[in-house]
Structure 1
Amino acid sequence: MPLGPLRRSPLVEQAAQRLRDQIADGSWPVGTRLPGETTLARELGVGRSTVREALRALAGAGLVQARQGAGVFVTATEPDEDFTTRLRRASVTDVYEIRMMIEVRATELAAERRTDADLAALDAALAARDEAFAGPSLEAFLDADIALHAAVIAAAHNPVLVDLHAEFVPVLRAGLLDLVALVDVRASDASHGRAAHAALVEAIRARDPETAGRVITAELTQTLTRLRGSR
């Protein structure tokens, strides 16, 4: 399809999008050499500097690559996505499965490495979870539950695990909000999983990674089963 001239602001973004569209619709398949800057500038109705910046943006997205002395070539039809973007596109059940893999081991590490300060944070988070369940907002309860799990992760004293959990939270929170909208947690579990979460905290307090891992596995498996059933 012809490129056609561009109109209105901002020209670099428009030029990049127009070129991206050409790649996405197959006009320029992978391996194709793009027209030169002068040709692209004329077809788009912009200056060569605008085309140059647009091509730089496409290169940053992994769509094109400049080869010295040969030109600019299409290398992919879809832009590279960072981890956060992929998570946002993923299903909550897929993310939850990965969460289980990470959090079970993190919980075992927490039982091995926890400090007195960690125990104080866990006790406070458990109490806040209890208080939130007694309140009117299921959303507040969900946030308190997530905060307790975050306190467990923090007790593992591995900053990479903390960062990974933080990446998962927005996707998990959205999926779990959908779940609690479908399931009356107060009716389905009058104790709101209090015994399991208390047992988890006690296993960490006792420096018992085996029990802590077993408790968190059972708790997360139950929620994953509910998520799968709600889809």
Structure 2
Amino acid sequence: MKGSPVPLVTTTRTGLVDQVIAQMRELVSSGEWPLGRRIPPEAELVTALGVGRNTVREAIRALAHAGLLEVRQGDGTFVRATSELSGAVRRLCGSELRRVLEVRRALEVESARLAATARTDEDVRDLETILDTRDAAVRERDREQAVAQDTRFHLRLVEASHNPVLIELYQGLSEAVLSSVASTFDAEGPADRHIGHTELLEAVRDGDPDRAVAEAGGFLEELLAQVGEDAASQSASRNA
């Protein structure tokens, strides 16, 4: 970000803090300020916005309190989440994988059920394309691409439910979903040992909600069991 122009406009003199908060929130949610990246330094923001340091600091404090930004003393301010909902999810779940998987199970199972009856031809085509790309990345052991496409598949499946409330809730979980997919992806394991989603896609395409529910719940139960086994193994190692 250093040396690059900041896409902000000079504010008016009314409601300065609220205006700065709104602009920063938009830069975060749009991806202009990417997740995990450091935002421009305070002096650059002051110049770009045409406001005082106190206004910028107050806006940053507000967004940090909402969970979108994280202030690291001596290191700068970083994007922590893309929305207040996502920030709340991260605070509640933290980095505990089991909690995230349990929330995913609640949302994704219902999404699969709804998608099986509400999906359009376009939804199915998109899901097929994403899954083909994901499976190709798994075969090629392209971990970054496989994780990204797997995460995208789950989001697109939720979108196929055409339930706006469910979609917004899941989007708020997007960073935690990405992290959980990355945590359970074995880059060194053989391709045929990775959990596939072909049967889930087929159930949705065939309009079979019961089978879609079984497939969506099944792979998440498998991941939860795997997490439990790993935790038990680590506990045994510590006590040995």
How many pairs align?
152
Matched with 1:156 is 161
State the distance in 2 between where 1:109 and 1:217 align.
14
Task: Check the 8 A contact 1:179/1:230 in 2, yes or no.
Answer: no
**What SS is found at the alignment partner of 2:189?**
helix
Matched with 1:87 is 89
Q: Identify unmatched segments of 5+ residues in structure 1.
A: 1-49, 62-81
Detail structure 1 runs of 4+ shifted over 4 Å in the superposition. none
Instruction: Report matched runs for 1:64-83 at 5 Å.
Output: 83=85
Percentage of pairs with the same residue: 27
State the distance in 1 between where 2:184 and 2:203 align.
28
Could you tell which deviates more after superposition, 197-206 or 163-172?
Answer: 163-172
TM-score, scaled relative to structure 2: 0.56
**What SS is found at the alignment partner of 2:147?**
helix
Task: Check the 8 A contact 1:112/1:204 in 2, yes or no.
Answer: yes
Task: Check the 8 A contact 2:109/2:213 in 1, yes or no.
Answer: yes
Task: Check the 8 A contact 2:116/2:208 in 1, yes or no.
Answer: yes
Matched with 2:202 is 202
Q: Give the C-alpha shift of residue 112 in structure 1.
A: 0.7
Structure 1 or 2, whichever has the larger Rg, is: 1
Q: Does 1:213 align with 2:213?
A: yes
TM-score, scaled relative to structure 1: 0.58
**What SS is found at the alignment partner of 1:215?**
helix
**What SS is found at the alignment partner of 1:186?**
coil
Q: CA 1:87 to 1:192, structure 2 compared with 1: closer, same or farther past 3 Å?
A: same
Aligned-residue CA RMSD in angstroms? Answer: 2.7
State the distance in 2 between where 1:117 and 1:176 align.
25
Residue identity matched to 1:154: E
Q: Give the C-alpha shift of residue 184 in structure 1.
A: 5.0
Q: Give the C-alpha shift of residue 229 in structure 1.
A: 3.5
Q: Does 1:190 align with 2:192?
A: yes
State the distance in 1 between where 2:188 and 2:115 align.
28
Instruction: Report matched runs for 1:120-199 at 5 Å.
Output: 120-180=125-185, 183-184=186-187, 186-187=189-190, 190-194=192-196, 197-199=197-199
State the distance in 1 between where 2:127 and 2:180 align.
24
Matched with 2:3 is none
Matched with 2:227 is 227
Matched with 2:118 is 113
State the distance in 2 between where 1:146 and 1:210 align.
23
State the distance in 2 between where 1:137 and 1:184 align.
8
Residue identity matched to 1:192: H
Task: Check the 8 A contact 2:100/2:180 in 1, yes or no.
Answer: no
Q: Give the C-alpha shift of residue 83 in structure 1.
A: 3.6
State the distance in 1 between where 2:180 and 2:201 align.
25
Q: Identify unmatched segments of 5+ residues in structure 2.
A: 1-53, 66-83, 232-240
